[in-house]
Structure 1
């Protein structure tokens, strides 16, 4: 992934009794679901709905537009170009790029008279400044990704950062779960095949712009390890390494592990 994305650092110790783990976790990001209703029909239906339903309808319209833009963007860029685009977009809502413009980001207001959209943008800013709930809490990863990488102006910078924060929290929770299950798998069988399978499934469910931030041969490497079904306790089949090394390399996208056949990092 892009260098400006914080990594999850996994600290695991192996002893004679099996595998135990503790984690020093930094948020990582860490994602398209189409909205089938047209903007006109959604807005028309929203008139007679309560405030909560109107808010959902407004968001649905925005997500529909974001999905169309994402489809156009993804189809027009190569994987390498898409990865570079992701880095550019993330730099606006994370790290120094965000905090350098924090005052302007907090003052940004959507170009709309819709009170629902104005309220949501305000809530996002309040959340990022330590007050209230993330307005995007509980949204699907696909929807969050649409918001994060939409620089059309449909969402404010702070809304995109709030969506990124929720996406990061979801990624953090997934990693905690996968590490715990991997420890159990290793202690029970000496293998990490289920771990590799879960990591591959996770990758395959990401949108193109997030897959583009992974090494080019990430999928092929994982599939190879799944097929190998190596036992790290008995060192059977073939291969070498420890459960600690392998899990860290997969989760931290180790450049040597994922270099291509020519020796170049993917």
Structure 2
């Protein structure tokens, strides 16, 4: 029996375990998918030693960047993004991929309108890096918003009415609002949102996060992260079986 799993921290809420377990049951695939909840990326080594027949892993917050040092090779997209969310294991060699880019592009592209020319990307972690890479491929200008801005990034306190009116696409790449902390949301001036805005949240649980609910209240278009996760999961499965 082949084994697959998810590496992350505090991942009881994980989409991946439920998704792949149902997939294996529905298709009568002789495989299992487990959560490997570790409080330090160094513990990845013990997981690899302990788990036999491990063929692939997904990687989530907060290890999408720090996991890279443990990998033998990165594919072109993962190297360009600087973040990995999928690992293929072949004869004890670890190959890193990024399927977040594919998942985001597949979920977002059908929903874009002509006026979605500029984006605010909330958060600067591994997920944010994948989203920025995808936005570049769409020729969408973006500004990264961070609590600790560097280079050309801005702080949440820098967002004003003019900033909001100049960026009609707003993407939450932070975990704020994820179950069980569903009352949390990124600190942006929601009162300046209107029907031209499109809020995309990588959070999928709850279906309508506080971030999305506040956008909806202002007439903005909203979308959660479920389809993105579904697309990236299927891309991971394709990689593991290639």
Normalising to structure 1: TM-score of the pair?
0.27
Greater fraction of residues in strand: 2
**Who wins on radius of gyration, i.e. which is larger?**
1
Normalising to structure 2: TM-score of the pair?
0.29
